[in-house]
A and B are shown apart, each in its own frame.
Chain A
């Protein structure tokens, strides 16, 4: 029998000719924990989807050996039967079913008559919870009674019930408190001691350092290196993760920076469902006229939540003061923000940006429709003329100005959403991941637009998970991590390593 439980060799997966991962290797021994590290979009999730047969055998190239034999799984059920269980970043619980019902979902024990044998099911669930040292959980209660951390453990119980030999954890602690994280890590150590293998994907490198035996780093879909953790430290991992050249993708233009126009003081937000958990923790910052302020951080750092709070659309509890041009303002709904001159291009274009069935043009004018009305009636011709101006200005590629926006490409949809949020002539423009999922050409045009706006004196707050973008565009960079402001740097000689280290919570040098 081979030394390895799992060997993945030369795995390549492309989407319509674009390689998402290219020639990646990953090997896991029995009882070993492998840390898988890489920036957002590096290809970690794609690799795990290949392994768990979300992308079935044949849709990718390379070879997977499982316990020495080639694995040709066609669906998740087959990989689970083999003993590979993946626990996703977002919890996959049915909130109104009980803990036991969730654990046994799809494999419910049945009695002679064919009904669910609840006694047996609950008894087995209790045994599993005891193994996880979670005997205080009542397995007969609906799962929504428990916090995110406890639910994460229920998820693991579900994996144990499937006789997992390899547990894949994808960002398991992004929704957990510090104490819950500790419990989880201790548990994984115990599993290791009992011979279970695990792949641990996390941005939180200190967690990786604590439990991983080996670390594999991937970047832009390629294999950068695999080394024993003993030979590494978190700084070395960071260098491996970001070590890429900055290309001249950014049409940088000089622009004057004026007085403070916007100020956020002591902003805190709490999670909508888990109301004990702070997602934004006492963040304060200033934004000047004509300044481009980048907000860096890893997924789950609380950046989108902060933006929502500033734009008046955070649904959970929140507190803190906002000042515009020296005056305290109250933003209770997005319409207050738009009226006062704060606009936001949301992160999730499909859910929050576009009105899919409506024409591109009508999407663009939605924020300022009143401007084209007299006596309550829309002046269609005046509106259409403005639409055509905007379409030309933003270079939106569309066959007709009133074609449903859903039929356009992502980049063109994004340009229309940006146009919509520029028409109210904002003083402060919040861009949340403005270039996510759009092609290079559209990205370049959005960058150019950002500089043009800064020149005109608009204060821009740009949230981005793409480090080169943050460093290529911003005048100043805020770094957030776990809801806190971890750094506030002027973008002069700022390096990706420094930003990433701050995001992870290990400032290499003094934070300003």
Chain B
């Protein structure tokens, strides 16, 4: 039985555990029909030209883990940003772990999707926001919608800001030979609200894990949301991340994606600018080795005048890794005075590594400034020679240059502890310690 059949069959069983009268269930039924029709994306589709899900579809994934697994804090401590105090929403094999988590309802709601979907007090908000920007025409998003049950739910009312950043951590224990997870997150920051989120998917064994996550983020007028994705998973883990962001007037949303591991990672990051004076920031550092594959797919849709977007993706590809970047900027007819910038720089450090990049502009307004640049190249030999002539060994010298290469992206990380953590990850990934922090 292939994965699609299995999913469709499991949906029946899944339905039995749910309240079928709840309005969200109509959305689920609609979504599963959609998925049934579309199926898994294949390489004939332009958006999936460089990423194949064929081998994943042959894996026999367990959709609902048999038993509850618990973990001790010390086992997972390294995956938390433990240097600072944070709110934590932790899932083990897709199931919420209250023991490891720290949620709040004090002025802001930082809790669970399952609670938000079932408790009547959240209904007005769910009605307004749930599944409003997630694309129905995307088959994997529909699949996630159909199986929506658990995930993080964050609601920051007007003029509020939580006291500390929120960490969302998805852990998989490897108790199943192959596990498929479909977390669904809903994040709402109303007018003038502020929020910082760090999200991480982590497998604790080398067993196969496939995560098909959907996150919807709504930023109200003048809201500020910073979202950090840390993707440093083990060799068995694959991640398809679909993030949809809706921005209102003068809001600022930034998404930083750090991809250092995992077997296959696909990031679909979609920004919809639904107001003027908006700023959207999309940044990413990708450092890959082995046979890892990372595909960044970004979309920034400028729908209103006087907005900005900045994209900066850096990639370093070694061994037999593959990197894909496809960035699309759409500027609508009325979105005059748009300033859209997109940059993608790639370093190829192995002969067997591969980079496919496609920056794409679709512009319908005339009074705009849109530019994109992309490069693929190697480290500058002369700069390398300069460093070596000053007594810095080859390995450190090239690492130094790669640090510098990635620095643009790290610069805008607003949580210093996180920056230090990423820094360490980069050093580890490059196999050196240059003895300084950026």
Whether chains A and B associate is no
Q: Which residues of chain A have a CB within 8 Å of any CB of chain B? A: none
B interface with A by C-beta (< 8 Å): none
